[in-house]
């Protein structure tokens, strides 16, 4: 580690905004954070060059990028924006020593071991066991899912598309929601409920279930009405959101025996945190029949770190440079 470069640049690229930061690789401290609208730049290379110039960091030649799309080879094409590039060509063009590109949820998974105590809130369970697998799921625009496996002194991220498995209804209300959403979408996945659009779908489905006529609301409005206790329907939608989130989190815990913890990331849950304790979230996490006691031991953590994607990209780059 003694010969490791002192500073690097990390980026977290979403469909709307591009976040950049300098990172001190010894401490993983982030600074000089800048956020730009992606639409302001013709390419990712242009955005990175602008950041380096603006912050006088053109001398830094090690870069890690977390990006909101699959990364399965040299050619990267964003899912919800027009940027596409060759990793090799971009590295050559910008004369970088290292250009590490990863899926954005790979980065979120990699940040888990580096979270400070004040960047996570534990919800039930016992202490996390070191050296054991971890799971992370994040509800935002969609539902991201990944696992993280410790191996020796390194971590192997396992990104996947767990947000698109089958959603399993468990009571009469949920069977109604399943039929209601299946009529619109065919396949009903956890992402259909556990995302911004999912919260809106739950609100609409529960209005139909209760035979209410109510104007459609966006996810922010539903959350605000639930938090301010001004709408029983909005509160019911959030309670259903948390119940289903607990169930799928419990499924992930069982799948890889995640005694290192299950982590909840994404933008929605931290905003709705005051409503979590009164929900079935933890009870549904543990409601796994003969394996209820198994899951009862596993801790859940709400990730409250402001920039988990940047932190995770930094952890992965540090591990890569260390060989």
Summarize pLDDT for 229-261 with one digit per residue, the tens.
999 999 999 999 999 999 999 999 999 999 999
| Res 83 pLDDT > 90 | yes
CB 264 within 8 A of CB 122: no
Q: Is the pLDDT of residue 2 over 80?
A: no
**pLDDT band, very low/low/confident/very high, at 4 (cuts 50, 70, 90):** low
Which residue ranges form the domains of the chain, and what is each CATH number? 7-103+312-321 (3.30.420.40), 116-304 (3.40.367.20)
What number of other Cβ atoms are within 10 A of residue 238's Cβ? 25
Whether 15 has a pLDDT exceeding 90, the answer reads: no
Q: Any idea which of 180-184, 267-271, 297-301 has the lowest mean pLDDT?
A: 267-271
- pLDDT class for 101, splitting at 50, 70, 90? very high
For residue 99, name the pLDDT band (cuts at 50, 70, 90).
very high
Predicted confidence at residue 5, as pLDDT, reads 65
Q: Is 263 within 8 Å of 135 (Cβ atoms)?
A: yes
Residue 264 token pair: 């909840």
Q: Is 125 left (phi over 0), alpha (psi -120 to 50) or beta?
A: left
Given this model, what pLDDT does residue 157 score? 95
Its pTM stands at 0.91
The pLDDT of residue 1 is 39
For range 264-268, the mean pLDDT:
93
Percent of the chain with pLDDT over 90: 90
Decide: residue 173, CB within 10 A, 0-12 exposed, 13-18 middle, 19+ buried: middle
Chain mean pLDDT for the chain: 95
Alpha helices (runs of H) in the chain, residue ranges in sequence order: 44-54, 87-93, 104-111, 172-185, 196-209, 219-227, 232-256, 268-271, 281-286, 292-296, 308-321
**How high is the pLDDT of residue 142?**
87
**Bridge partners for 136 per DSSP:** 146, 263
DSSP code for 71: -
Q: What is the mean pLDDT of residues 18-40?
A: 95
Name the band, by pLDDT with cuts 50, 70 and 90, for residue 141. Answer: confident
**Going by C-beta distance under 8 Å and a sequence separation of 6 or more, which residues neighbour residue 221?**
234
């Amino acid at each position: 580690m003694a010969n490791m470069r002192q500073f690097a640049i990390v980026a977290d690229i979403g469909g709307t905004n591009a976040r950049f930061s300098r990172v001190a690789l010894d401490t993983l401290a982030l600074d000089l954070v800048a956020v730009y609208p992606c639409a302001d730049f013709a390419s990712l290379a242009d955005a990175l060059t602008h950041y380096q110039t603006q912050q006088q960091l053109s001398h830094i030649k090690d870069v890690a990028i977390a990006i909101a799309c699959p990364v399965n080879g040299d050619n990267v094409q964003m899912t919800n924006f027009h940027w596409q590039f060759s990793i090799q060509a971009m590295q050559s063009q910008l004369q970088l020593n290292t250009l590490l590109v990863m899926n954005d949820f790979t980065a979120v998974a990699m940040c888990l071991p580096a979270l400070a105590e004040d960047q996570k809130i534990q919800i039930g369970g016992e202490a996390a066991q070191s050296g054991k697998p971890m799971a992370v799921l994040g509800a935002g625009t969609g539902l991201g899912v990944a696992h993280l496996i410790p191996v020796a002194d390194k971590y192997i991220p396992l990104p996947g598309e767990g947000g698109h498995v089958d959603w399993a209804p468990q009571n009469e209300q949920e069977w109604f929601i399943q039929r209601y959403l299946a009529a619109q979408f065919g396949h009903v996945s956890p992402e259909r409920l556990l995302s911004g659009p999912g919260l809106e779908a739950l609100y609409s489905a529960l209005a139909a279930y209760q035979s209410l006529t109510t104007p459609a609301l966006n996810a922010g409005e539903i959350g605000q009405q639930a938090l301010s206790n001004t709408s029983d329907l909005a509160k019911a939608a959030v309670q259903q959101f948390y119940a289903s989130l607990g169930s799928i989190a419990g499924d992930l815990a069982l799948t890889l025996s995640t005694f290192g913890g299950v982590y909840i990331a994404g933008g929605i849950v931290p905003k709705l945190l005051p409503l979590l304790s009164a929900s079935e979230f933890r009870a549904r996490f543990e409601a796994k029949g003969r394996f209820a006691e198994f899951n009862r031991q596993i801790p859940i953590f709400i990730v409250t770190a402001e920039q988990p994607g940047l932190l995770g990209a930094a952890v992965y780059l540090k591990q890569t440079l260390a060989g």
